[in-house]
């Protein structure tokens, strides 16, 4: 009897310890970034582009990277959602057979595990082959490839959680598979899908390696799909690798901005997904 209670206690302690660890890591990152970056964070950083000598500690900001990153991440999210949604629906047993679906899932899981620099190299080869140079479009396509497995797998999970009885009701009323998918399953899975898109967005906006060759870097705001574009992760990388302390501080300020964007997006998506879940059947 006693040993069972000890077991219970040990596992409780383990759980609390792991939760604390996770919270400490998050707090640690936040503290370091805020302490180092908050002092150089100012309005100019948000709204101005780098001026001559910015990387030597002179005036300017990283508006180019902020806008660039947002363009890249939103564009890639939209593109991969556009392709991901039909695939996620297709993985249901009503459409693809069990075996084909399992193979697709396996490939997606492998793709998920591929390091982003490999996506970057792959994207670069394709672009060279097509005669494109580093550009916003190239970055968006490469990022979309990187996001696709996350997007599909997380959306597919929520679609699979739709109770089969709910689909049965739709079929019993004489609805076809497509009608059931679009009117019943889509509505039911909508809040979960928002979370899936957010996950992919989060990975996309924070990734540096895949856009290093494909999107390039520039000190100007993005003007066209076919010109290079700046991004926050690369801005952080370039600034933190200079020997000048002021510029290094700016790297932390940039990281803080990136973090705030991610927090803001998760907050908005939470709100959105709560709005969509009004009709959800539990």
Partner 1 sequence: MPHISLSNLTIAYGNHHVLQNITVEIPNNQITAIIGPSGCGKTTLLKSLNRLVDLYEEIKVAGEVRIDGVNIYDPKADILALRKKVGFLSQKPYPLPMSIYDNITFGPRIHGIDGKNLLDQIQKLEKHIPIDSLCPNGRQKETTPRKNHEMAYLVEYYLRLAGLWEEVKERLHAPATQLSIGQQQRLALARALAVEPEVILADEPTSALDPISAQLIEKQFKILKNHYTIVVVTHILRQARRIADYVMFLYLGELVEHGPAHDFFNAPRDQKTRAYVSGEIS
Q: Which of 5, 172, 243, 245 binds partner 1 (CB under 8 A)?
A: 172
User: Closest distance between partner 1 and the C-beta of residue 275, in Å?
Assistant: 12
- Reference 170, options 281, 5, 19; nearest CA is 281
Q: Which of 24, 30, 106, 173 binds partner 1 (CB under 8 A)?
A: 173
Q: What is the Cα Rg of the chain in Å? A: 23
User: Closest distance between partner 1 and the C-beta of residue 176, in Å?
Assistant: 7
**131: which DSSP letter?**
T
Q: Which of 164, 224, 243, 245 binds partner 1 (CB under 8 A)?
A: 164
Scanning residues 56 to 75, which ones bind partner 1 (CB under 8 A)? none
Among residues 36 and 105, whose Cβ is nearest to partner 1? 105
Handedness of CA 77, 211, 46, 27 (dihedral sign): positive
Q: Which of 170, 219, 221, 237 binds partner 1 (CB under 8 A)?
A: 170
Query: DSSP string spanning 4-26?
Result: HHHHHHHHHHHHHHHHHHHHHHH
282 touching partner 1, by CB under 8 A: yes
User: Closest distance between partner 1 and the C-beta of residue 277, in Å?
Assistant: 9
Binding mask 82-111 for partner 1 (x = CB under 8 A): -----------x------------------
| 211 contacts: CB under 8 Å, gap ≥ 6 | 72, 120, 139, 142, 143, 231, 233, 234
CB 150 within 8 A of CB 196: yes
- Stretch in the footprint of partner 1 (CB under 8 A) among 55-63, 124-132, 158-166, 258-266: 158-166
Q: Which of 179, 246, 264, 275 binds partner 1 (CB under 8 A)?
A: 179
Q: Which of 59, 86, 115, 163 binds partner 1 (CB under 8 A)?
A: 163
What is the H or E stretch that residue 213 is in? helix 209-214
3-state secondary structure 222-282: CCCCCCCCCCHHHHHHHHHCCCCHHHHHHHHHHHHHHHHHHHHHHHHHHHHHHHHHHHCCC
User: Closest distance between partner 1 and the C-beta of residue 160, in Å?
Assistant: 15
Q: Which spans of this chain sit near partner 1 (rule: CB under 8 A)?
A: 93, 163-176, 179, 183-184, 187-188, 278-282
């Amino acid at each position: 009897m006693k040993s069972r209670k000890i077991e219970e206690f040990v596992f409780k302690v383990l759980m609390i310890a792991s939760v604390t660890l996770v919270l400490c890591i998050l707090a640690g990152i936040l503290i370091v970034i805020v302490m180092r970056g908050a002092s150089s964070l100012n309005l100019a950083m948000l709204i101005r582009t780098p001026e001559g000598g910015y990387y030597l500690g002179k005036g300017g900001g990283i508006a180019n990277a902020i806008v660039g990153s947002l363009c890249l991440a939103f564009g890639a999210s939209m593109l991969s959602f556009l392709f991901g949604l039909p695939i996620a629906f297709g993985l249901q047993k009503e459409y693809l057979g069990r075996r084909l679906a399992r193979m697709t899932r396996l490939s997606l899981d492998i793709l998920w595990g591929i390091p982003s620099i490999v996506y970057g190299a792959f994207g670069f080869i394709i672009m060279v082959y097509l005669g494109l140079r580093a550009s916003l479009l190239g970055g968006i396509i490469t990022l979309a490839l990187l996001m696709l497995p996350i997007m599909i797998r997380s959306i597919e999970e929520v679609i699979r959680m739709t109770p089969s009885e709910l689909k049965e009701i739709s079929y019993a009323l004489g609805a076809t598979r497509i009608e059931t998918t679009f009117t019943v399953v889509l509505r039911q899975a909508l809040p979960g899908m928002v979370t899936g898109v957010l996950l992919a967005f989060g990975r996309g906006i924070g990734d540096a390696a895949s856009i290093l060759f494909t999107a390039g870097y520039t000190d100007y705001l993005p003007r066209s799909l076919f010109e290079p574009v700046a991004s926050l992760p690369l801005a952080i990388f370039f600034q933190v690798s200079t020997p000048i302390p002021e510029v290094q501080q700016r790297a932390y300020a940039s990281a803080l901005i990136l973090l705030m964007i991610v927090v803001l997006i998760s907050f908005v998506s939470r709100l959105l997904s709560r709005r969509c879940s009004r009709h959800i059947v539990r």
